């Protein structure tokens, strides 16, 4: 059976930059719906979810990294790129509270690329795969005459009772993150600005090039019944929160004074005139977890989280009614961001 894009999907003369990444996903998902079967979840979450055993579901996630869009070939070490290519996918599995089981790598490479580059890329990929006992089990390789493209797919598994979805947020929930926001975005600014290297730059570059997927934290949080919605921070909380809001039909209020910002980002922002709050909200690629928690349970859950992981569960906002949309407050005053979170076609 052949499949052709309908005029409704292509939008006639409308350009992708006009509808943005979210609009494109909506157009595609409208053609396929939720997926067959009430226990199967397709487009619209960090992972596809398919029934697997009586007690567990299969998680499938895939991400593409494209030269010039996601990485600058001359600036990134191939070992770091291999590491990050797997990390961004494992982060999606973490967002579902899952355990990774297998991974697949497909890529387009130029024929004049040094074999040593490939060796280093695979070494970085393996460096992250081994601690989580996840094997590279296949993929595809093609030639490109232009930019390198890298696509990684990861299969994972989670107990059905532990599965966390974007659609589970409830009005009144506390909005939390599990790590600093904005460091990766600062790392990208340092790369593009060719800033002089120091210990602060080293820290934000590490956040950008080598994010550590929070699989252990995700699995623990997934076991907590009072954790409702959960996803990872890939495009910045301004974009990612909107995904939760849409899936759960809720609004959100963020207290910018509560945003977890590292000492390095604060110092760099002061020296270079960066807006640290804007970076924290829209920088993206932080790959910590973004979740909502029952307000009555938050104090005890936060204490348990700190005790287990020796790091805070950062309270940054509250889930509110959908008609309020996404609001930002600083010093008890509503503020508007100078830009929105990352969108592949608008940014």
Task: Quote the pLDDT of residue 297.
Answer: 97
Task: Quote the pLDDT of residue 32.
Answer: 62
> Over its length of 347 residues, how does the chain's per-residue pLDDT go in tens digits?
333 444 444 445 777 676 665 665 566 665 665 544 445 565 666 678 888 888 999 999 999 999 988 888 989 999 999 999 999 999 999 999 999 999 999 999 999 999 999 999 999 999 999 999 999 999 999 998 889 999 999 999 999 999 999 999 999 999 999 999 999 999 999 999 999 999 999 999 999 999 999 999 999 999 999 999 999 999 999 999 999 999 999 999 999 999 999 999 999 999 999 999 999 999 999 999 999 999 999 999 999 999 999 999 999 999 999 999 999 999 999 999 987 655 544 55
Q: Report the CATH superfamily, name and number, of domain 47-162.
A: PurM-like, N-terminal domain (3.30.1330.10)
Task: Quote the pLDDT of residue 29.
Answer: 63
Domain ranges of the chain: 1-33, 47-162, 166-335
Task: Quote the pLDDT of residue 14.
Answer: 77
Task: Quote the pLDDT of residue 13.
Answer: 74
Q: Cβ(149)–Cβ(140) under 8 Å?
A: no
Burial, 249: exposed, middle or buried (Cβ in 10 Å; 0-12, 13-18, 19+)? exposed
Task: Quote the pLDDT of residue 69.
Answer: 85
CATH number of 166-335: 3.90.650.10
Q: Cβ(96)–Cβ(46) under 8 Å?
A: yes
What is this structure's pTM? 0.87
């Amino acid at each position: 059976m052949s499949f052709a894009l309908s005029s409704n999907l292509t939008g006639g003369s409308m350009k992708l930059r006009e509808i943005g990444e979210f609009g494109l996903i909506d157009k595609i998902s409208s053609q396929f719906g939720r997926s067959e079967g009430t226990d199967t979840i397709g487009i619209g979450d960090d992972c596809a979810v398919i029934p697997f055993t009586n007690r567990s579901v299969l998680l499938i996630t895939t991400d593409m990294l494209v030269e010039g869009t996601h990485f600058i070939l001359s600036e990134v070490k191939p070992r770091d790129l291999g590491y990050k290519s797997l990390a961004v996918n494992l982060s999606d599995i973490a967002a579902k509270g899952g355990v990774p089981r297998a991974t697949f790598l497909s890529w387009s490479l130029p024929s004049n690329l040094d074999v040593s580059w490939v060796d280093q890329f695979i070494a970085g990929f393996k460096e992250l795969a081994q601690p989580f006992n996840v094997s590279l089990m296949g993929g595809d390789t093609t030639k490109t005459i232009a930019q390198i493209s890298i696509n990684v797919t990861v299969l994972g598994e989670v107990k059905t009772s532990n599965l966390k979805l974007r659609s589970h947020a409830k009005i009144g929930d506390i909005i939390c993150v599990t790590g600093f926001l904005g460091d990766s975005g600062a790392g990208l600014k340092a790369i593009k600005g060719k800033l002089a290297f120091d210990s602060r730059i080293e820290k934000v570059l590490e956040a950008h090039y080598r994010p550590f997927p929070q699989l252990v934290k995700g699995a623990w949080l997934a076991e907590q019944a009072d954790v409702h919605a959960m996803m990872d921070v890939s495009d910045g909380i301004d974009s990612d929160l909107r995904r939760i809001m849409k899936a759960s039909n809720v609004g959100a209020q963020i207290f910018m004074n509560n945003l977890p910002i590292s000492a390095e980002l604060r110092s760099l922002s002061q020296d270079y005139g960066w807006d640290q709050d804007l970076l924290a909200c829209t920088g993206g690629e932080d790959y910590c977890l973004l979740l909502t928690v029952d307000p009555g349970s938050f104090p005890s859950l936060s204490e348990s989280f700190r005790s287990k992981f020796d790091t805070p569960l950062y309270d940054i906002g509250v889930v509110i009614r959908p008609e309020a949309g996404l609001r930002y407050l600083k010093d008890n005053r509503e503020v508007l961001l100078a830009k929105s979170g990352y969108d592949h076609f608008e940014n």
